[in-house]
Structure 1
Amino acid sequence: MPTTSLPRTLRIAILAYPGCVGAEVFAVVDVLRLAGHLARAQRTPPAMRLELQVVGLHGRRVTMAGGLVLSVQPPAAAIDVLIVPGLDIDRLDDWEARLAPLQRELVFIRKTFASGSAVAGVCVGAFLLAQAGLLDGRRATTAWLCAPQLVQRYPQVRLVPDAVLVEDGAVLTTGAVSSVFDLSLLLVRRSLGARVAAATARMALLSDGRTSQAPYVDASLRPLPMPSFAQSVEQWLRTRLAEPYDLARLARAFHVSPRTLLRRVKAESGHPPLVLLQQARVEEAKRLLRESGWSLARVTEAVGYGDLPTFSRLFAARVGETPARYRRRTSGLTLP
């Protein structure tokens, strides 16, 4: 959504289609409605007036994910921002079959964008935008769980996998489901102003300013399609997290030279073995922080580090928050 030459009336359309996720439709409607109430209560002059409609291309009713039925309107002639929610998924494959029934939606997305409208894809709504050709050569994000599938299916997309929001020209994409609230607050900020957006976030208990999905990533939920050699090396490292990294020993275990091991692992996984080990150590530390009552020092030692500050810096660089903050947010444990 460009920030220059904004119209006095911002006409927003949410595209509801069979199998879309209702929460990603309702969140925009409800956050903008709440923001409007707060703007009037604060007597804050809006930067522009909002017109919001939920539209569909299959008559007046759409059956969403879970069988919920929603009343919709036909699209208006003029749309400034088109929001495309994600679709229900229970597997991370067979995207062709999932997208095939949505040809009318894909044509509508393409034509709406070509007419000059901004388009926002929420969560796996990015797959619809990519299928419609809107993400070719653009920076984009999607739900962290589906990011590998997006970049594999659409290699022309410049994926920013950890981002909560990515804006590239008139195309905006968001991360996983709750990022629809980040998008909604962005719309409020640009239409009703920063003061109303901050008040809306406080009223609705929303985080205003998230930038990364990294703190929420759980690698155990996402099978990583690594070739067998690199996967075997990673598994060997995972069973020895507390042991010092020794490249020569690792190479001997796989009956290759250190140089060959580095080359093959990097070619297959995109990372050297040490990075795979660091990733595995961070993931195990996240699990221990969530599920155990161990002290931070004990967790650090369990994943192979003798110095808590050093590991805390590594953890924060990869996760986006310190181990202590991660534990407070995810486990509910009381820290000493």
Structure 2
Amino acid sequence: MIKEIAILVYPGCMGMEVFALTDLVLMANHLAKNMHPGKFSALRVKLVTLRPNPVAIAGGFKVAAQRLRGKPDLIVVPGLEVSRFGEWDERFARLGQELKAIRRFHGQGTELASVCIGSFVLAEAGVLQGRRAATAWPFVSEFQDRYPDVQIEKDAVILSDGGVTTTGAVSSVMDLGLHLIRESMGSAVARAVSKLALIDGGRVSQRAYVDTALIPQNRAPFSTQVNRWLAQRLSETYNLCALADAFNVTSRTVLRRYRQETCMTPLQWLQKARIEKAKHLLELSSMSVAEVVVAVGYHDLATFSRLFARETGQTPGHYKRLFQGKRVATFPRG
């Protein structure tokens, strides 16, 4: 059972992913002491580093941490700040000693965990080979390309495989914290922390949060033109022959060239584009679900709902309730 957690602080790591975990564990220790006096030992958390103090984390803030010594039960690797896609070599060139230490502790049997794209750090250190892992949804494709020997579970929020735990995007530090609290102090204490901190402790998938507009799109010339043509006719019935005529090629040529560039068909792209449009309408407009279905080119609510649920993990109605109109409650003065 884990009793001592060491959070690895390194240059450029994300502060929220460091301090959210320390605060959750602090809350859990207080709650466990009051709910079950004498039953649980307090979880110990410390910030550790391999660098001279203080360490400049993301945003340039300076953090003091202990030198990494001894053998903690668990080392947590927070994610690192990235300002654009594809800058991994540049980032990892500065983290040689952290990668070496992660490999060494893993070889000694220390459990490891990562938050968000901290999974890239673990993979770069070589400790995820042959394992299943999670990472932040915008970076799944890059992760797969860079580490083909890791089985990435693109929807997972938190995933454990053989003493290594990886998580999804930034806020999954909360899911990791609740998982560690649950393992050490039981479900009752974890539920109490979840309620006190207003955390949804039951998230199992990232799919509902995916927004493809935030991911760099394919720029291959033919498929880009096809996508633009389809996007302009999003609500119209899909017609492969009309698409082929628009580009003065045969239907077979459209499918062959498009698949070569994208590994999918134009219809598959169109379905995903329609789902993305529907998500934005459900979030930002006052349209009913039925009206949204028609606006994105479908006429059968059941068929659309199945496609939508397959892509997002939510029904259209639930997605609308989850993401639309989230406002801070206000009260009149006086």
Question: Taking structure 1 as the reference length, what is the TM-score of the superposition?
Answer: 0.92
Q: Is the 8 A contact 2:32 2:189 kept in 1?
A: yes
Out of 181, 202, 207, which is 1:209 matched to? 202
Matches within 5 A, 1:283-298: 283-298=276-291
Among 90, 93, 96, the residue aligned to 1:97: 90
Deviation at 1:13, TM superposition (A): 0.7
Deviation at 1:157, TM superposition (A): 2.2
Question: What are the equivalent positions in structure 2 for 1:129-148 lying under 5 Å apart?
Answer: 129-148=122-141
**Secondary structure of the equivalent of 2:75?**
strand
Deviations along 1:17-69, one digit per CA (max 9) or x if unpaired, are 11110000001101111111111111166566522211011133211111211
**Counterparts in 2 of 1:288 and 1:297: CA distance versus 1, 3 Å:** same
Deviation at 1:145, TM superposition (A): 1.5
Question: 1:16 and 2:12 equivalent?
Answer: no
Deviation of 1:233 (Å): 2.2
1:172 aligns to what SS in structure 2?
A: strand
User: 1:173-184 alignment to 2 at 5 Å?
Assistant: 173-184=166-177
Identify if the C-alpha distance between structure 1 residues 160 and 270 changes in structure 2 by more than 3 Å, giving closer, same or farther.
Answer: farther
Task: Tell me the residue number matched to 1:271.
Answer: 264
The answer on 1:228 being equivalent to 2:235 is no
SS in 2 for 1:82: strand
Q: CA deviation at 1:213?
A: 1.1
Aligned to 1:71: 64
Moved more, 224-233 or 97-106: 224-233
Q: 1:323 to 1:227 in 2, by over 3 A?
A: same
Unmatched tracts of structure 1, length 5 or more = 1-5
Shift in alpha-carbon separation, 1:225–1:133, aligned structure 2, 3 A:
farther
Residue 83 of structure 1 corresponds to 76
- Give the secondary-structure state (helix, strand or coil) at the position aligned to 1:52: strand
Write out per-residue CA displacement over residues 190-229 of structure 1, whole angstroms, 9 at most, x where no aligned residue.
0111111111111100011211111111111111235332
The CA distance in 1 between the partners of 2:219 and 2:134, in whole Å, is 21
Change (3 A) 1:225 1:137: farther
Query: For the residues of structure 2 that align with 1:188 and 1:263, how far apart are their CA atoms?
Result: 52
Percent identity of the aligned residues? 46
CA distance in 2, matches of 1:326, 1:303: 16
SS of structure 2 residue aligned to 1:211: coil
Distance 1:278 1:45 in 2: 56
Task: Please tell me whether the aligned partners of residues 226 and 268 of structure 1 are also in contact (alpha carbons under 8 angstroms).
Answer: no
CA distance in 2, matches of 1:232, 1:84: 42
Any conservation in 1 of the 2:33–2:40 contact (CA below 8 Å)?
Answer: no
Check conservation: 1:327, 1:333, Cα contact below 8 A.
no
- Alignment partner of 1:87: what SS? coil
Structure 2 partner of 1:187 = 180
Show CA shifts across 1:119-140 (max 9, x none).
1111111111111111222222
Pair 1:321 & 2:314 matched: yes
Unaligned runs of 5+ in 2: 328-334
* Residue in 1 that maps onto 2:120: 127
Distance (whole Å) between structure 2 residues aligned to residue 184 and residue 41 of structure 1: 19
- 1:113 maps to amino acid: H
Worse-superposed segment, 85-94 or 174-183? 85-94
State the alpha-carbon separation in 2 of the partners of residues 291 and 53 from structure 1.
Answer: 43
Tell me: CA distance 1:275–1:206, structure 2 relative to 1, closer, same or farther (3 Å): same
Q: Given the superposition, is the C-alpha separation of residues 235 and 210 from structure 1 closer, same or farther in structure 2, using an over 3 Å criterion?
A: same
Change (3 A) 1:191 1:68: same
Check if 1:304 corresponds to 2:290.
Answer: no
Q: Distance in 2 between matches of 1:172 and 1:208?
A: 17
* Contact preservation (8 Å) 2:29, 2:42: no
Deviating beyond 6 angstroms after TM superposition, the runs of 4 or more aligned structure 1 residues are: none
- Aligned CA-pair RMSD: 1.9
The 1-side partners of 2:251 and 2:234 are apart by 19
SS in 2 for 1:101: coil
Q: Equivalent residue of 2:192, what SS?
A: helix
CA deviations over 1:241-284 (Å, ceiling 9, x no partner): 11111222223323333333323323332222221111000000
Residue 331 (structure 1) aligned with residue 319 (structure 2): no
- The equivalent residue for 1:26 is 19
1:165 and 1:46, CA in 2 relative to 1: closer, same or farther beyond 3 A? farther
Return the TM-score normalized by structure 2. 0.92
